[in-house]
Amino acid sequence: MALRSRLPHVGTTIFTVMSALAAETQAVNLGQGFPDFDCDPALPQAVCNAMAAGHNQYPPMPGVPALRQAMAAKMHVLYGAAVDANAEVTVTAGATQAILTALLAIVHPGDEVIVLEPCYDSYVPNIELAGGVVVRVPLVPGTFRPNFDALAAAITPRTRALIINSPHNPSGTVWREADMQRLQDLLAPTEVLLISDEVYEHMVFDGQAHASAARYPGLFERAFVVGSFGKTYHVTGWKVGTVVAPAALTAEFRKVHQFNVFTVNTPMQHALAAHMANPKPYLELSAFYQRKRDLFRQGLAQTRFRLLPSEGTYFQCVNISDLAVPERDLPEAEFCQWLTREVGVAAIPLSAFYGNGFDQRVIRFCFAKQDGTLQTALQRLSRL
Ligand code: PMP
Ligand code: GLN
């Protein structure tokens, strides 16, 4: 059968490719972002309790009310946002579905959607599936900070939406209050909608605060704020996330959501709602990961890898230019293959986050790992 691909330029995601290679070669997997330690045992216990209590049929289409209420309450306490749990919160099958569904809900064929490169790999194919035109604006090379002049120049009467992501995957940069203020001023005279991917909201280091779009009324009125319980509670395999958006946007979102997944598995929603009653796990997550970041950075500082800043997320980027091996001159993607096979440490090339494969000699490690895993990786990396 001749099939005309909807995504002719897309292969298998780099995360899947590198995790498969790491498994095949038994390398330490610092590639795909996920913890190698388990979640709080209270969580699976709460899922069992919910199942035993009979929460095994479809939940309400937008999500279990207790979970939506817990989410609305958290947005109020942390970001000062007044959120209506009934009309403005929807539970999704992870942030991935949230972003695709938001785009399908708002993008008409030919509408432009701006992404800031490097960006998470699902954004561009999602925009294309929605019939949109991708407009790529680079973050400042070297620092990965937003370039507002370039962003302003990219906005046209056809711009339907902008996708932002802070804390940022892959660079680990965190947008400042001043960045959000500037974005608010820039978008104020426009009709541009905002998709704010905040899945790493609880991993912000060195005393910085997460600048959620929900804190800025001029942004929140036009925003889909996307969260993921996978990151926050060490359960990436559960695939449960949320979208918080004004009622009118949520109404459109749910029109698509109901025919996309209809709803998300019930027992896990009950478990997450129960778990959210205690804010400690997410309030302490930044300190938890900052310690791992510091341990990993201290080790890397003894190697020839050149450290880039990591202000948030569970990612650390490094420049490979100064390594003492000839493979340092390979393209990033090939270098990562070599590093996995021959050195026994998997990483992700930053070129995978650019449409044109821009190669700046930088690769990304995930440090959401047990200390022993990080030490083993560091030992291997110190040989280069
Ligand atoms: N956005 C970013 C920036 C991510 O890093 C991830 C994690 N893979 C996602 C979205 C998707 O999150 P989820 O696993 O909840 O679908
Ligand atoms: N967000 C994770 C990362 O950037 C991967 C998730 C996935 O495999 N799709 O590594």
Strand partners, 362: 319
CB of 351 within 6 A of ligand 1: the answer is no
State how far the Cα of 60 lies from the Cα of 301, in Å rounded to an integer.
51
CA nearest neighbour of 99 among 78, 70, 136, 125: 125
CATH label, 42-277, candidates 3.40.640.10, 2.40.30.10, 3.30.1050.10, 3.40.50.620: 3.40.640.10
The predicted structure's pLDDT at residue 356: 93
Q: Is 165 in the pocket of ligand 1 (CB under 6 A)?
A: yes
The one-letter code for the residue type at 279 is: P
The domains of the chain are located at 14-33+283-381, 42-277
Q: Is 8 exposed, middle or buried (0-12, 13-18, 19+ CB in 10 A)?
A: exposed
- d(C-alpha 230, C-alpha 239), whole Å: 6
Q: What is d(CA 73, CA 78) in angstroms, rounded to the nearest whole number?
A: 9
Q: What is the 3-state secondary structure (H, E, C) of the chain?
A: CCCCCCCCCCCCCHHHHHHHHHHHHCCEECCCCCCCCCCCCHHHHHHHHHHHCCCCCCCCCCCCHHHHHHHHHHHHHHHCCCCCHHHHEEEECHHHHHHHHHHHHHCCCCCEEEEEECCCCCHHHHHHHCCCEEEEEECCCCCCCCCHHHHHHHCCCCEEEEEEECCCCCCCCCCCHHHHHHHHHHHCCCCCEEEEECCCCCCECCCCCCCCHHHCHHHHCCEEEEEEHHHHCCCHHHCCEEEECCHHHHHHHHHHHCCCCCCCCHHHHHHHHHHHCCCHHHHCHHHHHHHHHHHHHHHHHCCCCEECCCCECCEEEEECCCCCCHHHHCCHHHHHHHHHHHHCEECEEHHHHCCCCCCCCEEEEECCCCHHHHHHHHHHHCCC
Ligand closest to CA 166:
1
Ligand 1 near 120 CB (within 6 A): yes
Using alpha carbons, select from 149, 202, 213 the residue that is nearest to residue 175: 213
- For 198, other C-beta atoms within 10 Å of its C-beta total 25
Regarding the beta carbon of 15 and ligand 2, being less than 6 Å apart is answered: yes
Distance 94 CA to ligand 1 centre (A): 7
- Of all protein residues, whose CA lies closest to atom 2 belonging to ligand 2? 33
Task: Write down the pLDDT at residue 330.
Answer: 98
Query: Are 40 and 285 within 8 A, CB to CB?
Result: no
Per-residue model confidence as pLDDT tens for the chain (384 residues): 889 999 999 999 999 999 999 999 999 999 999 999 999 999 999 999 999 999 999 999 999 999 999 999 999 999 999 999 999 999 999 999 999 999 999 999 999 999 999 999 999 999 999 999 999 999 998 899 999 999 999 999 999 999 999 999 999 999 999 999 999 999 999 999 999 999 999 999 999 999 999 999 999 999 999 999 999 999 999 999 999 999 999 999 999 999 999 999 999 999 999 999 999 999 999 999 999 999 999 999 999 999 999 999 999 999 999 999 999 999 999 999 999 999 999 999 999 999 999 999 999 999 999 999 999 999 999 999
The answer to whether the CB of 13 is under 6 A from ligand 1 is no
Tokens of 349: 């090339």
User: Which ligand lies nearest the alpha carbon of 15?
Assistant: 2
Burial (CB count <10 Å: 0-12, 13-18, 19+), residue 79: buried
d(CA 125, CA 143): 26
User: Which ligand places an atom closest to the C-alpha of 365?
Assistant: 2
What integer pLDDT is reported at residue 366 of this predicted model?
98
* Whole-angstrom distance, CA of residue 7 vs CA of residue 20: 22
What is the residue with the minimal CA distance to atom 7 of ligand 2? 15
Q: Does domain 14-33+283-381 have CATH number 3.90.1150.10?
A: yes
Q: Is 283 exposed, middle or buried (0-12, 13-18, 19+ CB in 10 A)?
A: exposed
* Cβ of residue 32 lying under 6 Å from some atom of ligand 2: yes
Beta-carbon contacts of 268 under 8 Å, excluding residues fewer than 6 positions away, are 47, 50, 238, 240
